[in-house]
Structure 1
Amino acid sequence: MSTNALINPFRVEVPQAELDDLKQRLARTRWPERETVKDWSQGVPLASAQALVKYWSEQYDWRRCEAALNRYEQWTTEIDGVSIHFLHVRSKHENAQPMLLTHGWPGAVLEFMSVIEPMTDPTAHGGTAEDAFHLVIPALPGFGFSGKPTEHGWSVQKIAQAWTELMARLGYTQYVAQGGDWGAAVTTALGAMQPAGLRSIHVNFPLVMPQDPGTDLSPAEVGMLTSMQEYVEWDSGYSHQQSTKPQTLGYGLADSPVGQAMWIFEKFHRWTDNDGDPLSALSYDQMLDIITLYWLTNSAASSGRLYWESYKAGFFAVPLALPVGCSIFPKELYRAPRSFAERCMSQIVYWGEVDKGGHFAALEQPALFVNEVRNWARCVPD
């Protein structure tokens, strides 16, 4: 329970009428013709799209997801005029380390559902009491059940400041922070700010791209730059749209659940460690929990605005002087080389490279993710 009057309890209770409306819209879907190729190179194939929507319409159960969220204490607090929704899951271990977990796009607090119990109750999941965390898992402004900013200015730096205020309101005087994707950008911004009490950060998407990589590059450095070039040429259309005209995009995605679904489903294919089929990495339920959350909260435009606020500068390296941990998953958008990291991180206390997983590390490989976080936390200086 919270004793701070600025923090209010929250419970997910989506009206049945909204779920009925979703099914009605799915039934009225107007489909395009099939692609002219035999792979995903033009986007989500028609057959894959129709199979996902069939499951969504006939078998998917949002109430299961809702109940899973409601197992945990959830709260909201208003910071700078925006309501921030967050899970606060305290460990039974008295000396547990408080940790901020921040998601990205097209992610949600739901990415962390399978790691909450191992992190808060490690003795029941292969760890020791020293591995325990008190978890604070906020939804980014404009995402999920957090409020939507009504004025511009909510950059990753402003979000990092809001997270500092959130931890203060919860009474945490010392804590660590972790993130991937936009969560890595926010966590890196926190690390650059070094607010009082922040002991260390960990990222599974290290932001190490130098403004000037130079010319005498190692194979690993060339590999990262090659991956980034491929991303820019073949995979970045969504980011150009969201960083330039998120409002225009929002009209279509707010009106069409299938449009919203495919906007995200494509990324589950492109960014997970799969064999060509996203279902080899994630289940329909895992993907549709996140897709349905975006639909029910009508957050296509509001989440896309984070790109408009911060994309152009948000993913380059910034100097970090506090202890940092990094974990490299093989099917990330790029494999960050330690040599680039050492240019901007003066205290790398942990560097891990695992053999499975992609961009959605906690969702795809929860056990490996938990192990990486534990390994980093054990290296953080007292």
Structure 2
Amino acid sequence: MTQTDTLTPFRIEIPQADLDDLRARLMHTRWPLPIPGRDDRADFSRGIPQSYLTELAEYWRDGFDWRTQEAALNEHEQFTTVIDGQTFHVVHARSANTEATPLLLAHGWPGSFVEYQRLLPLLTDDFHVVIPSPPGFGFSTPLSGTGWELARTTDAYAEIMTRLGYERFAVHGSDIGSGIAGRLGAVHSERVIGTHVAIDRAVLGLVGTVFPASEGLSEEETAELAVVQASSAAERGYLEMHNHRPDTIGPALTDSPVALLAWIAEKFKSRTDAGYRPPAVDRDQLLAGISLYWFTRSGASSAQFYYEGEHADLDFVMAQVPSAWVAFDTHPLLRRTMDPWGAVNRWSDFAEGGHFPAMEEPALLADDIRAFFGSIG
């Protein structure tokens, strides 16, 4: 890796012209012709219903205040640094506690550092929090080239912690970030204190494809797993596009704010504890994250991360440090399928929450993070 070690202070300042352009595009959206019988804003059986999307787009255009969100995001120290030719954006929330533990938070898609707004103040009494954005996400753009997959990104995250002066650190991750956390605990075990991973029941739908097929399940458990897999099959459309055709969906996510809104907002409907009811996350926080994708054109570039992962030849590695998993919207089969070896040191189950616990249940997540890392000191 190219080592310049430079940390350049960064501040979010979206030009007014970009805000005006977004509002104009939303105002001139070319909507599909309505289909008779498809007017139920709560019916997501064919995807995000137009009535729901129209309402959200109108609020984004006329009610959402980006400048308020921007000011809140700028309350935390930020910088950019270049590793192996790629720009990385990093949020650094320092604790006033001199004994605080460095904690790296690793997010995935369609998340961003915005995802941790409600979680950060609950952690900084005990941790110096570091939030890098993966290559192609947010202000870690533009992509410097192809080949930015999980292993390369993991090594870059370790280098970021080095540049901050943190030789030893803790890691929490979810979604793609859970893979980064696990790999950090495996290939940088001499530096990682422990890994903490958040999952939800939707991960069961990926067993046998993304994750190894389960062994030793009873007939009843196998049948139950099959039901979950079948119900989640419809949720994998985005995954197949990202894994195999990111260049096809990318222009729509870059040119049309409503396309981006539909692509991301649907996931916040189907993968939170509200299910297909009103989202369990704050609407302004949701739109702040989607706005970040829009302003940085990272709808297209973030999808490339999936393609790189799907086509990379990475060996499976097991974390060599203490580990904790916390399951939100939990299911009895989660631990049976995700930890068949009994290797996880601490496992927590919560009926609440979903795929975005830092937004849905920040207090539960913060308590679990503190309890785990406090126990391993």
Same fold (TM over 0.5): yes
Matched, 1:48 2:52: yes
Q: State the match for 1:126 in structure 2.
A: none
User: 1:376, CA displacement in angstroms?
Assistant: 1.5
Q: State the match for 1:338 in structure 2.
A: 335
User: 1:294, CA displacement in angstroms?
Assistant: 0.5
User: 1:224, CA displacement in angstroms?
Assistant: 4.8
- My pick for the range that moved more, 198-207 or 20-29, is 198-207
Correspondence 1:109-148 to 2 at 5 A: 109-121=113-125, 132-148=126-142
**Which of 144, 147, 169 matches 1:175?**
169
Distance (whole Å) between structure 1 residues aligned to residue 100 and residue 326 of structure 2: 22
Q: State the match for 1:101 in structure 2.
A: 105
Contact 2:120 2:129 in 1 (8 A): yes
**Equivalent residue letter for 1:84:** F
User: 1:194, CA displacement in angstroms?
Assistant: 3.1
Distance (whole Å) between structure 2 residues aligned to residue 239 and residue 165 of structure 1: 29
**Which of 89, 94, 119 matches 1:85?**
89
Q: State the match for 2:74 in structure 1.
A: 70
Distance (whole Å) between structure 1 residues aligned to residue 218 and residue 92 of structure 2: 44
**Equivalent residue letter for 1:288:** L
**Secondary structure at the counterpart of residue 308 of structure 2:** helix
C-alpha change, 1:80 and 1:303, in structure 2 (3 Å) is same
Contact 2:149 2:312 in 1 (8 A): no
C-alpha change, 1:315 and 1:61, in structure 2 (3 Å) is farther
TM-score norm. by structure 2 comes to: 0.90
Distance (whole Å) between structure 1 residues aligned to residue 333 and residue 180 of structure 2: 18
Kindly report the root-mean-square deviation, in angstroms, between the aligned alpha carbons of the 2 structures: 2.4
Residue identity (%): 36
Contact 1:73 1:88 in 2 (8 A): yes
Q: State the match for 1:23 in structure 2.
A: 23
**Equivalent residue letter for 2:337:** F
Matched, 1:285 2:281: no
**Which of 177, 184, 194 matches 1:190?**
184
**Equivalent residue letter for 2:148:** W
Listed one character per residue, the Cα deviations across residues 279-300 of structure 1 (whole Å, up to 9, x for unaligned) are 3x12321211111110011111
C-alpha change, 1:184 and 1:5, in structure 2 (3 Å) is closer
**Secondary structure at the counterpart of residue 89 of structure 2:** strand
Matched, 1:34 2:34: yes
C-alpha change, 1:345 and 1:13, in structure 2 (3 Å) is farther
**Secondary structure at the counterpart of residue 371 of structure 2:** helix
Contact 1:102 1:184 in 2 (8 A): yes
Listed one character per residue, the Cα deviations across residues 300-330 of structure 1 (whole Å, up to 9, x for unaligned) are 1100001101147799975333210000001
**Secondary structure at the counterpart of residue 277 of structure 1:** coil
- My pick for the range that moved more, 210-219 or 64-73, is 210-219
Distance (whole Å) between structure 1 residues aligned to residue 84 and residue 342 of structure 2: 31
Q: State the match for 1:203 in structure 2.
A: 197
Listed one character per residue, the Cα deviations across residues 152-201 of structure 1 (whole Å, up to 9, x for unaligned) are 21111111100111111111111110110011111122122134311110
**Secondary structure at the counterpart of residue 322 of structure 1:** coil
Matched, 1:237 2:237: yes
Distance (whole Å) between structure 2 residues aligned to residue 314 and residue 325 of structure 1: 27
**Equivalent residue letter for 2:235:** D
Correspondence 1:245-324 to 2 at 5 A: 245-274=245-274, 276-279=276-279, 281-311=280-310, 318-324=317-323
Listed one character per residue, the Cα deviations across residues 3-26 of structure 1 (whole Å, up to 9, x for unaligned) are x96111000000000000001111
Contact 1:103 1:182 in 2 (8 A): yes
Q: State the match for 1:61 in structure 2.
A: 65
Q: State the match for 1:355 in structure 2.
A: 351
Contact 2:5 2:81 in 1 (8 A): no
**Equivalent residue letter for 1:63:** R
Number of equivalenced pairs? 363
Contact 2:141 2:296 in 1 (8 A): no
User: 1:230, CA displacement in angstroms?
Assistant: 2.9
Distance (whole Å) between structure 2 residues aligned to residue 271 and residue 288 of structure 1: 16
Distance (whole Å) between structure 1 residues aligned to residue 182 and residue 217 of structure 2: 27
TM-score norm. by structure 1 comes to: 0.88
Contact 2:189 2:321 in 1 (8 A): no
**Secondary structure at the counterpart of residue 88 of structure 1:** strand
User: 1:262, CA displacement in angstroms?
Assistant: 0.6
Q: State the match for 1:129 in structure 2.
A: none
- For structure 2, list consecutive stretches of 5 or more residues without a partner in the other structure: none
Distance (whole Å) between structure 2 residues aligned to residue 108 and residue 340 of structure 1: 28
Contact 1:34 1:45 in 2 (8 A): no
Contact 2:182 2:318 in 1 (8 A): no
